[in-house]
Amino acid sequence: DAYLDEKDSAYNAASLATLFSTHGRNDMALALLAPYEEKLTADATLYAQYITLLMAEKREEQAYDLLRASLKVDMLPPGMAEEVMDM
């Protein structure tokens, strides 16, 4: 918990989530990133990682809902338009 309480906690959570994902634990990676869902639109890397994990866990509808909501309020992180179009 102390590691995630630091100033760059979303970045730290993303780093730890990457380790879980690398070892096939996408479920744990998503659980780790869930508290940062509100901050996703502020960080394109974190946003892309979260969307990718949702897709890997066969939670496509949740991923698309998140993308649609972000587009609807014009809060898609910079540089994400191409990734959205690829989906």
- The mean pLDDT of 63-83, rounded to a whole number, is 73
Residue 36 token pair = 């940062």
Alpha-carbon gap, residue 76 to 72, rounded angstroms: 9
Is pTM, for the whole model, over 0.85?
no
Question: Which tens digit of pLDDT belongs to each residue from 30-52?
Answer: 998 888 877 777 777 788 888 88
Closest CA to 66 of 9, 29, 46, 15: 46
Kindly give, in sequence order, each residue whose CB lies less than 8 Å from that of residue 60, ignoring residues fewer than 6 positions away.
Answer: 54
Residue 29 token pair = 């990676």
Alpha-carbon gap, residue 1 to 22, rounded angstroms: 21
